Structure 1
């Protein structure tokens, strides 16, 4: 019998839990010893009571505070010992066959520790931040200057996000923790999620440590999960939380050193500044087309936000 623990971290998303839980239960095959754990991060929308009443068979762990994504997941990971662990966000949904496809990669590759599926939005469009190359100066430059999205791009121009949708599974630098299947043996080797990270970069960090310890990370192109995050605003960079870029810069400097961290921020200034200028020019050029001009202006404003963030000093907050 194969043991699986599914961990869902919830913070005031009671309305999303039913569909998330249902999608997991429909995908776990018969013959699995499956424990579903919800860690409630001190919600104030009645989530904990709702789980106890509506899903009494779910193991509920109540955190006395909003402990952040990593610490909350680790509460469940430390309390369980299953062979495999599925991490899934409340706004994610497994699709038919996705779990089996992910598990297949772990079964075929005994050195695989982490598998992530192809992610798409609720409207069916591909989600670029499903996976990406190891985050270094080269991959950041490829992303910032758009080299990763060029057709027939040269080797070495892979960016921090997948440039194009693909039907071929491969071994990336990292996969998103929105949906992530993990081999427990790997966690025992390279460790749990980093408790010092409150949110963002948890998946990049975990995959970085897995690969450094000699384990493989797989992007399962044959598995698809729906990740609902802001589908209506997915193309506007600045709609992402400013903390996401701060967390990236903080993690990069910690892993690669302060010197490379300063080089990264210089690349960001040039990259985001160039994008902001280009979109500002496009907004003027499209002035006779109100919709296209407004879209270009929104993109320009978004990249100006990231330009200002790139100029911030890197703090030590988590």
Structure 2
């Protein structure tokens, strides 16, 4: 078996059909298997897959294990030389997986592989990115990203002088479509389950690099990603989860000093955005802007009160009436 495709499903019946159809109709020369790890779906996903795609290896977890643990179940069951972590809200373009395997075989020095991810309108999504750092956090917080056009020393969170049309070494690839050599992935233990949603892909790529293997981007491998289909109903909750895991990441790789600096940069960024959108709302009020402002108010309140060190070391949440510890509804 050359390739195992692991898809995590949680009430994704509306999108997973197109994903599976694109895989089976567009892959021709690669021996592959599809493993769907289901996190307790109640929307008919399971019977739909059984009826329409009986060749899929369906794992029923019975509950929402979240992103990292749910994917790890699928990874443990995989049999391929390569494992592709793929979101259910993706569409694999014709021949993409065949080209990806061919690309990987030409680069035995690499441990992980990125690809060209597009939005639904065909624009470049930019899922291949540089690793975060304290310096880059402040560049982003102060809206200094344009300096990245002058020098790579000023790159914040995107490779701004690169449009994803050429092969290159990258720091990390988003988990919506990340391929890793199976032996290496299992040696690393898959995803770190402390990052239950957000930053788990970034952390995995960091560990791939730490193990001595680069991650290489394949521009001829194209996948469309319908962003946010599974999280849009819980926007504030998932936004707070993002900050939780950002602090876990900075604590893990930059220690106590680093996570404190990260929190300062986060608050700076949030206040700048809140003030800016408040001014826009005064001039051109809209419901969409009000919802965005509500998100920033909640995020500021939570980040203002949280002690990121206590959060990571003991799980202590801030005392606030705006946000509570987040558990995605089952």
1:111-160 per-residue CA deviation (whole Å, 9 max, x = no partner) reads 211112222221223324x1211121122222222333447232222223
Greater Cα shift, 153-162 or 194-203:
153-162
Asked if 1:137 is matched to 2:134, the reply is yes
Q: Report the secondary structure of 1:156's partner residue.
A: helix
Q: Does 1:126 align with 2:136?
A: no
User: Alignment partner of 1:20: what SS?
Assistant: helix
Quick check: 94-103 or 264-273, which moved more?
Answer: 94-103
Query: RMSD over aligned Cα, in angstroms?
Result: 2.8
> Partners of 2:25 and 2:147 in 1: how far apart?
39
For 2:52 and 2:227, the matched residues in 1 are separated by 25
Query: Is the 1:5–1:35 Cα contact (8 Å) retained in structure 2?
Result: yes
Distance 1:93 1:265 in 2: 36
User: What corresponds to 1:96 in structure 2?
Assistant: 94
- Alpha-carbon distance, 1:214 to partner: 0.6
Q: CA deviation at 1:21?
A: 0.5
Change in Cα spacing, 1:104 to 1:33, as seen in structure 2 (3 Å) is closer
Alignment length (residue pairs): 307
Cα deviation, residue 181, structure 1: 1.4
The alpha carbon displacement at 1:8 in A equals 0.9
Gaps of 5+ in 2: 316-325
2:16 is the counterpart of 1:17? yes
Aligned counterparts, 1:1-318, within 5 A: 3-30=2-29, 32-128=30-126, 130-150=127-147, 152-163=149-160, 165-230=163-228, 241-284=239-282, 287=283, 290=284, 302-311=295-304, 312-314=306-308, 315-316=311-312
Contact 1:120–1:225 under 8 Å retained in 2: yes
| Contact 1:175-1:204 within 8 A present in 2 as well | yes
Q: Normalising by structure 1, report the TM-score.
A: 0.85
Paired with 2:102 and 2:84, the residues of 1 have a C-alpha distance of 14
Please say which of residues 307-316 and 247-256 is displaced more in the overlay: 307-316
Alpha-carbon distance in structure 1 between the residues aligned to 2:6 and 2:281:
45
Query: How many Å separate the matches in 1 of 2:219 and 2:78?
Result: 29
CA contact (8 A) 2:35 2:78 kept: no
Change (3 A) 1:239 1:196: closer
Cα distance in 2 between the residues matched to 1:134 and 1:151: 14
CA separation in 2, counterparts of 1:175 and 1:53?
A: 33
Per-residue CA deviation, residues 270-290 of structure 1 (Å, 9 max, x unaligned), is 222123223333444xx2xx4
Q: Confirm or deny: 8 A CA contact 1:169 1:221 kept in the other structure.
A: yes
Task: Look up the SS of the partner of 2:35 in the other structure.
Answer: strand
Quote the Cα distance in structure 2 between the aligned partners of 1:175 and 1:297: 32
Shift of 1:75: 1.4
